[in-house]
């Protein structure tokens, strides 16, 4: 258990960078996680992050377009889902990038629930109209710009996890 009172801004930046690196590895294996959120990141006593809970993940290695379309309904992490996943049931590494942006927001707010004060239907309607969460208090403009890149409407306009690792390295070093 990591004591949040002992966390520095550098620790939070390191967590975000480590999560991006972990997801770059997951993406390199052609796996779509589909449930990236701070609750699914384990942190050991040395402040090393590990991505966990691959229960919703899918291997897209054998598909031509590296997307997965969900055919059945189950309990889904709505507040972390990209618009194309929410509205069209399409998942890809780029929908994981969206979730990474939400996870960045969670880390930088010390685990606040995304879209505070909005019910899931209200959140979905706001997202459909282009709403994005505001910059967390303990977040600089450069990091928020990276977060916003993850939330581009068009999945193709979102960075890759390799891009995110590089962008974050530039900001935190």
Distance, C-alpha 57 to centroid of its chain = 14
CA separation for the pair 24, 161 (Å, rounded): 5
Instruction: Respond yes or no: is residue 163 known to be catalytic.
Output: no
Cα dihedral 54, 59, 65, 68 in deg (nearest 10):
-50
In the block, residue with structure tokens 């379309």 = 69
Residues 6+ apart with CB under 8 A from 169: 17
Q: Which of 35, 44, 88, 170 is catalytic?
A: 35
Quickly count: other Cβ atoms within 10 Å of residue 160's Cβ.
14
* Inter-CA distances, 21 with 84, 105, 115, 162, 169, Å: 24, 17, 25, 7, 11
Dihedral over Cα of 82, 86, 90, 96: its sign: positive
CA separation for the pair 73, 154 (Å, rounded): 24
Catalytic residues: 35
């Amino acid at each position: 258990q990591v004591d949040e009172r002992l966390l520095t801004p550098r620790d939070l930046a390191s967590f975000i960078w480590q999560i991006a690196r972990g997801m770059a590895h997951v993406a390199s294996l052609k796996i779509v996680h589909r449930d990236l959120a701070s609750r699914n990141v384990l942190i050991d006593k040395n402040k090393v992050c590990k991505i966990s809970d691959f229960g919703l993940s899918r291997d897209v290695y054998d598909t031509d377009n590296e997307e997965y379309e969900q055919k059945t309904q189950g309990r889904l992490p709505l507040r972390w889902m990209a618009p194309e996943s929410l509205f069209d049931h399409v998942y890809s590494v780029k929908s994981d990038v969206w979730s990474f942006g939400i996870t960045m927001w969670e880390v930088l707010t010390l685990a606040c629930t995304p879209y505070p004060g909005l019910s899931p239907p209200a959140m979905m309607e706001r997202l459909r109209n282009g709403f994005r969460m505001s910059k967390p208090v303990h977040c600089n403009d450069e990091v928020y710009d990276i977060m916003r890149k993850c939330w581009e409407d068009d999945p193709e306009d979102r960075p890759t996890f390799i891009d995110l690792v590089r962008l974050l390295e530039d900001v935190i070093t």
